[in-house]
Amino acid sequence: MKFFVDTADVAAIRELNELGMVDGVTTNPSLILKSGRDIVEVTKEICGIVSGPVSAEVVATDAKTMISEGLTLAKIAPNIAIKVPLTWDGLTACKAFASEGHMVNVTLCFSAAQAILAAKAGASFISPFIGRLDDNNYDGVQLIEDIRTIYDNYGFKTEILAASIRSVNHITDCARIGADVITAPPAVIKAMANHVLTDKGLEQFLKDWAKTGQKIG
């Protein structure tokens, strides 16, 4: 499974990248706002840190302007994945970008039917928002499983990029089902290292070691 980091925080990306925990980055208008930086400037810096795909999102809602914005974003760096919403205009833009060899991340997916359309339009990635589905009393992880089954049935090459990840359980569930990629905030990825029994075991080891009166080195 590939790990994308869902942030525009350059320091957080650098930290995780140095540990080999970053295969790509996803950004969106909300994350750019949170960073407080110019979209081109911060996206270019991120693309220089990671070698994998960096999703940069268009903000237009009509296909013609989406295409214009997307081509502008694609000029930032070779590893840009143009991010478009899963609307009919977004699919039109996706097809245009894919036809020219650009990576495309189709976002805001909430159904298997939408995922089929994205794959047929040539999307490199489909981003189902599992956390938002859970928030609205739907089963987000089940959607990942449904898309996995459908894509495998027909040999679609589009990668399933599980998004709106809220917990460590989301990540492990997506891994079990076979999502190709997850994108999560840095804090959620780092939380994967935490377990109460690890903490308790370490505490006991340190207590016992102190009783030996020894030092290493």
Q: How far is CA 64 from CA 89, 100, 199, in A?
A: 8, 15, 54
User: Which strand (E) or helix (H) includes residue 18?
Assistant: helix 10-18
- Nearest CA among 52, 54, 73 for reference residue 8: 54
Which H or E run includes 183?
strand 181-184
Q: Of 175, 103, 173, 105, give the one whose Cα is nearest residue 133.
A: 173
- Report d(CA 112, CA 144) in Å as an integer: 8
Of 34, 64, 75, 83, the active-site residue reads 83
Is 200 catalytic? The answer is no
Strand partners, 52: none
- Rounded Cα distance between 137 and 151, Å, is 25
Catalytic residues: 83
